[in-house]
């Protein structure tokens, strides 16, 4: 299981989750050129260690364990993974 960032992050891109991630699996970072053009942040499913540190710091409650992702946001699992397969 991994964590997934879903629709509430769109347009928000608060990086509190980036700052607490112990394995640096949430991107883009504010200092990345991609940050300006990205609509949201993404979690790398291959790097995520399922620690959950990102969940309580998200101000818009956009981060979910994959198996608890609301049905209407299930497609965000693939969107997060696709971001890292570029």
Q: Is residue 83 pLDDT above 90, yes or no?
A: yes
Residue 1 or residue 14, greater confidence: 14
Percent of the chain with pLDDT strictly greater than 90: 97
Q: What is the pLDDT of residues 16-55, one digit of tens each?
A: 999 999 999 999 999 999 999 999 999 999 999 999 999 9
Per-residue b or e along 18-44, where b marks 16 or more CB atoms closer than 10 Å to that residue's CB = beebeeebbbbeeeeeeeeebebbbbb
CATH of the domain at 39: 3.30.70.20
Number of structural domains the chain divides into: 1
Structural domain range at position 78:
3-83
């Amino acid at each position: 299981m991994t964590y997934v960032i879903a629709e509430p992050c769109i347009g928000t891109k608060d990086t509190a989750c980036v700052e607490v991630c112990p394995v640096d699996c949430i991107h883009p970072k504010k200092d990345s050129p991609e940050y300006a053009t990205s609509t949201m942040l993404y979690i790398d499913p291959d790097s995520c260690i399922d620690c959950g540190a990102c969940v309580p710091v998200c101000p818009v409650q956009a981060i979910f364990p994959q198996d608890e992702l609301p049905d209407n946001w299930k497609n965000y699992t693939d969107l997060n993974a696709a971001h890292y397969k570029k």
